[in-house]
Amino acid sequence: MNDTLVTLVGNAATGVEFRETASGGMARFRFAVTPRRWDRGKQLWTDGHTSFFTVWAWRALALNLSGSVSVGEPLVVHGRLKVREEEREGRRKTFVDIEAVAVGHDLTRGTAAFRRVAKGETASTIPVGSPDGAGGPGGDDPWDRGSDGGGGGGSGEGGEEEEGERVVRRRSGRSTGSRKAGGELAPVP
């Protein structure tokens, strides 16, 4: 298959939204990429136009993203570029998605400590919604509530009220779960 692989350097623009589905974990977040150029005339760095992408991840990568990435953190994202067009309210809109293959912190702008995830370790979860295996770029988007992918339209900061599905949302660097002694993650009631 002829996929277009890209590597982007930028910042997490929203918190990571994580869902457990019948086919495994699914996560998404918005990613901002702003080019910087040296302006010789002014003798300083200037910012170019910011581009926003929706980054999608599945299975282990999705789970690890939900426990590792917070809003504003510098990241390097590598994955498949997907461009899709939809018609909403009589207007055609273009969406640019990245199906992530790998995501890491940009170590040119700070330090990070890697922690290997033990087999069977899970993220803290909040029971919400019904399990469905659908979603992702180009398919039925279970989180699409009429927004442009900017972080879960419909119900705002409090999350979506559906049945059977489990959701973890990270907002402003805070996890919705709690930790037990010994580093195990405990489910949120």
pLDDT tens-place string over residues 103-141: 999 999 999 988 887 776 654 433 333 333 334 444 444
Cα 105 off chain centre by: 13
Q: What is the pLDDT of residue 171?
A: 39
From 90, 174, 167, 94, select the one nearest 135 (Cα to Cα): 167
Q: What is the pLDDT of residue 117?
A: 78
In the predicted structure, residue 180 carries a pLDDT above the cut 90: no
pLDDT tens-place string over residues 43-90: 999 999 999 999 999 999 999 999 899 999 999 999 999 999 999 899
- Structure-model confidence comparison of residues 170 and 99, the more confident one: 99
In the predicted structure, residue 32 carries a pLDDT above the cut 80: yes
- Mean pLDDT score of the chain, rounded to an integer? 74
**Do residues 25 and 59 make contact, with C-beta atoms less than 8 angstroms apart?**
yes
Q: What is the pLDDT of residue 122?
A: 55
Cα 110 off chain centre by: 20
In the predicted structure, residue 151 carries a pLDDT above the cut 60: no
What is the average pLDDT across 164-177? 42
What is the average pLDDT across 19-26? 90
Q: What is the pLDDT of residue 167?
A: 45
Torsion of CA 105, 25, 169, 171, to 10 degrees: 10
From 101, 88, 71, 79, select the one nearest 11 (Cα to Cα): 71
Position of tokens 């309210």? Answer: 89
